Structure 1
Amino acid sequence: MAGVNSTRLGANKDRENPFKHNWLVSSLWLLVVCYIVYSFNAMDLSLGRISDGLGHASDLLARMVPPNFSRWSLLLSGLIESLEIAVISSICGIFISLFLGLFAARNLMPSWISTPVRALIALCRTFHPVIIAILFVKSVGFGALAGILTLVVASIGFIAKLFAEAIEEISLKQVEAIRATGAGFTSIILFSVMPQVFARFIGFSTYQLDSNLRNSTMVGIVGAGGLGGTLFSAFQRFDYDFVAAILIVIIALIMFGEFLSNIVRHIFR
C-alpha cells in the first residue's frame, strides 16, 4: 500500500501546473500598468494629440524641401567649429581619463585613492551634457570654450569609468611577474597593465570621439559654440529649408565620425 500511495503522490505531482500563479509578480505588473495609465492621463497624452502632431510634422517636412545651401559659408564655419570642439575635447578628455582610470582601479590603488576618484568620475557622469553646457556658458561665457569644457567632463565620465573597470578585469599574473623583476610602478603600468587593456581603451576612445561629434552640435543650442547655435537660430527664424541643410551636414559629420572610428579600430585590432 505504501508503494501504491507513493506512486499516486508522484503522479499527482507530475500533473501539477508547472507555472504556479505568483500573486506578488501579478501585483507588481498591475501596479506598473496602473502607473502607465496614470502617467498618460497626467501628461494629457492621447491618440488625438499624436495624430495632430504627425500632421504638423508632415507640414514641417514639406517646408524643409528642398534644402537651402546658399549660406554655405555659415554652414562651413559652424561645421569647422564643431569639429574643433569635438577633437580638442576628445583629446583632453581621453588624456585625463587615462590617469583617472588608473587611479580609480581598485586592484591597483588603495581605497583612500580609488574611492574619491570614483566619486569624481560619477559626478562627471551625473548630469546631461546640455545641463553642464548651461553651467559653463554661465561661467565662461558663450562660445567654443564652454562646449570644449562640457565635452571634456562628459568624456571623463564615460571613458574613465570603463577604463577603470577594464583594469580591474586584467590578469594579475603579469603584474606580479613584472613586479618580481624589481620594476617600479610606471614600468608595471606600461609593460603589464596597458598591454592587456590598450585595445579596449582605443575602442572606448573612438566611441567617445564619435559621441563628441554628435554632442558638439547639440551643446551649441544653449550657446556653447558649434553648428548647434546655427541650427537653433534657423529654427527661431522659421528658416526650415536652411534647417534641412544643417541637418544634412550634421548627418554627414556623424557618418564621417563613424568612418573614422572604423579605420582606427581596424588599425589597432
Structure 2
Amino acid sequence: MRLRTPFAPDWPMRIGLLLLALYALWASTQLGLSGERLLTGLGEGGRFLARMWPPNFTRWELLLEGMLESIQIALISTALGILLSLPLGLMAARNLAPWWLAAPTRAVIAVCRSLHYVIVAILFVKALGFGALAGVAALTVASMGFVAKLFAEAIEEISMKQVEAVRATGAPPASVLVYGVLPQVASRFVGFCIYQLDSNLRNSTLVGIVGAGGIGGTLFAAFKRFDYDFVAAILLSIIALIFAAELLSGRIRAALR
C-alpha cells in the first residue's frame, strides 16, 4: 500500500505563482517602473506637500458652497437610486420573478455597474451640460447598479416558508411582498442604503472634477491655478465630511440593531 506524503507540495499552485511573479516583473519593465523614478517622485511629492502647508481657509464661502452642493448631489442621487433599486431588486430576484423578467432586469443592473461612475458622469456632462444635474444622474445610475444587485441577492437568500405562509392566506402579491419578503430583508436593505449614501458622499467630490458639480470642480480649479494652500483646505474639508458621515452612519446602524 502506497503511503501518501503528509503536506504534499502543490506543484501546480507553485508553478502558477512563479509564472505570475515572472509576468509581474516583465510587466514592470514594459510600464517603465523603476526605483530611481520612485525616489524622484517621493522628492517631488515632498516639495508639493510643503507648498500645500498651511491650508488657506480664507475663501471659506466658496468652499462651503461647493461642499453643500456635493452633499445635495449625494443625498438626491442616493434617494433616487434607492427608489429605483426597490423594483429592480424585486424583479431581479430569481426566487420571486420568472426567468423572462429576472434575466433582462439583471442585464439592466449589469449595465449600470459596467462603467465607472466618472465615465458615466462624463457622458451625462456631454448630454446634459455642466452642473449638478449631470452629477445626480451619474450617481443615481451607480446607486441603482449597486443597491439593486445586493437587494436582489438578499431576497434570493430569504426563507420561502414565510412567503408561502402569506400566500396560503390568499393574500395578493403586494401583501406577500410587504409581509413575507420585506421583513426578512429590511435591515440589510437599510444597511445597503446607508453604505451607498456614504459612498455617494465620497463620489460626489470626484464627479465635480469632470464638470458634474460639487466641490470637485472647485478642487480642480484650484489645482489649475496652482493654489495649493486652498487645495489643502478643500482636501481637509472633504476628509472631515467623510469622517462625519462615517460617525453618523455608525450611529444609525447601532440604532437599528
Same-fold call, TM > 0.5? yes
Counterpart-to-counterpart distance in 2, 1:235 and 1:87: 27
1:229 alignment partner AA: G
What are the equivalent positions in structure 2 for 1:135-214 lying under 5 Å apart? 135-214=123-202
CA distance in 2, matches of 1:81, 1:20: 60
Match of 2:96 in 1: 108
Partner of residue 70 from structure 1, selected from 58, 74, 90: 58
**AA of the residue aligned to 1:254:** I
Structure 1 gap segments, 5+ residues each: 1-8
2:84 corresponds to which of 62, 71, 96: 96
Alignment match, 1:4: none
2:123 aligned with 1:127: no
* Distance in 1 between residues matched to 2:252 and 2:14, nearest whole Å: 49
Matched, 1:223 2:211: yes
User: How many angstroms apart in 1 are the aligned matches of 2:145 and 2:248?
Assistant: 22
- Paired position in structure 2 for 1:84: 72
TM-aligned CA distance change 1:23 to 1:267, over 3 Å: closer
Pairwise CA distance, 1:142: 0.5
Q: Given the two structures, how large is their TM-score scaled by the length of structure 2?
A: 0.97
Find out whether 1:27 has 2:15 as its counterpart.
Answer: yes
CA distance in 1, matches of 2:121, 2:219: 16
AA aligned to 1:99 is P
Shift of the alpha carbon at 1:262? Answer: 1.6
Structure 1 counterpart of 2:46, which letter?
S
Paired residue type of 2:21: V
Offset of 1:267 from its aligned partner? 2.7
Which whole-Å CA distance do the structure 2 matches of 1:225 and 1:40 have between them? 37
Cα displacement string for residues 65-112 of structure 1 (whole angstroms, at most 9, x for unaligned residues) = 100001111001100100100000000001110110011000000000
1:60 equivalent in structure 2: 48
Show the 5 A alignment for 1:249-268. 249-268=237-256
SS of equivalent to 1:225: coil
Q: CA deviation at 1:29?
A: 1.9
Query: Shift in Å at residue 21 of structure 1?
Result: 4.3
Taking every aligned residue pair, what percent have the same amino acid on both sides? 60
Q: Give the match's secondary structure for 1:125.
A: helix
For 1:23 and 1:165, the matched residues in 2 are separated by 37
**How many pairs align?**
257
Gaps of 5+ in 2: none
Q: Name the larger-Rg structure.
A: 1
- SS of equivalent residue, structure 1 residue 107: coil
User: Which residue does 1:50 correspond to in 2?
Assistant: 38
Deviation string, structure 1 residues 19-72 (Cα, Å, up to 9, x no partner): 434443333222211210111101110111111111111111111110000111
2: distance between equivalents of 1:82 and 1:178? 43
Deviation at 1:268, TM superposition (A): 2.0
Q: Give the Cα–Cα distance (whole angstroms) in 2 for the partners of residues 118 and 208 of structure 1.
A: 19
